[in-house]
Amino acid sequence: GMPVEQNPPALSLYEGAESGLRCNFSTTMKGVQWFQQNHRGRLITLFYLAQGTKENGRLKSTFNSKERYSTLHIKDAQLEDSGTYFCAVSNNNAPRFGAGTKLSVKP
Amino acid sequence: NAGVIQTPRHKVTGKGQEATLWCEPISGHSAVFWYRQTIVQGLEFLTYFRNQAPIDDSGMPKERFSAQMPNQSHSTLKIQSTQPQDSAVYLCASSLRDTGQLYFGEGSKLTVL
């Protein structure tokens, strides 16, 4: 397989704070996708990257295929950001998922 | 565009019974993927199809599990002689291409008593 490691496993933030999540993988990948899984279990796509950096509101993601990692940065955390964040990486095959980072945002 | 549709949303079976789960991918998407999610194992890849052909089933348990894609509008995952350890949320996703962005359905939660 192609191990995918996510750090940290769990994260607690206060509203308004910011932090980064990391996804490390063992071989060069062609794409990374970040998801938020909410309390209902639905996987919501946040980003898909084949290279570089993308931003969407309070979220920003980078993908460094050469260095074998991707990051998801959340700023001005809101209560609705709580959930589990997954990265999925692919290289000419089906995407494989990391174990996720469970984010709790507290008031 | 209705997105990826999975049915049933919930299924309860007795041990030893058969369970069949259905997935309708987004129209025009050439790749269809099946994953399984449990608390212990996380999100596990099971199998995927490209243009209806099976490409990689390396994640499928060798016994009792089978997947098919008889036409471009639906795929099925069949589990024979279900066991309690098969209890999980089974997720289907489709994509324009193998390494492209995944679009997930809401999942089918299987409970084996």
Answer whether residue A15 shows pLDDT above 60. Answer: yes
DSSP track, B16-43:
T--EEEEEEPPTT--EEEEEEEETTTEE
Query: Using CB atoms, which residue from B42, B56, B106 is nearest to A97?
Result: B42
In chain A, what residues touch B45 (CB-CB under 8 Å)? 94-97
- Looking at residue A2, its pLDDT comes to 59
What 3-state DSSP class applies to B86?
A: helix
Percent of chain B with pLDDT over 90: 90
| Inter-chain touch B89–A95, beta carbons under 8 Å | no
Q: How far apart are CA B107 and CA B110, in angstroms?
A: 9
Q: Which two tokens stand for residue B24?
A: 């309708």
Question: Residue A40's pLDDT band (boundaries 50, 70, 90)?
Answer: confident
Chain A CB contacts of B103 under 8 Å are: 45
Report how far residue A21's alpha carbon sits from residue B21's, in angstroms, rounded to the nearest whole number: 34
CATH number, position B58: 2.60.40.10
Collect all residues with Cβ–Cβ distance below 8 Å to B96 and sequence separation of at least 6: B28, B29, B30, B31
Domain span at residue B89 reads: 5-75+84-112
pLDDT digits (tens, 9 = 90+) for B76-99: 999 999 999 999 999 999 998 766
Rg over CA atoms, chain B: 13
Mean pLDDT in residue range B56-77: 95
β-partners of residue A14 are A106
Instruction: In whole angstroms, give the CA distance from residue A95 to residue B104.
Output: 12
Q: Under CATH, which architecture does the A4-102 domain have?
A: Sandwich (2.60)
Alpha-carbon distance values, B2 to A59, B9, B85 (Å): 26, 16, 32
Please identify which residue in the block is written with the tokens 């507290």: A106
For residue A32, the surrounding DSSP H or E stretch is strand A31-37
Among A43, A45, A48, the residue to mutate for chain B (most B Cβ within 10 A):
A43
Number of domains in chain B: 1
Contact B67, B34 (CB under 8 A): yes
CA atoms within 13 A on the CB side of B9: 4
Give backbone dihedrals phi and psi of B65, rounded to 5 degrees, phi first: -105, 135
Q: pLDDT tens-digit profile of A78-100?
A: 999 999 999 999 888 889 999 99
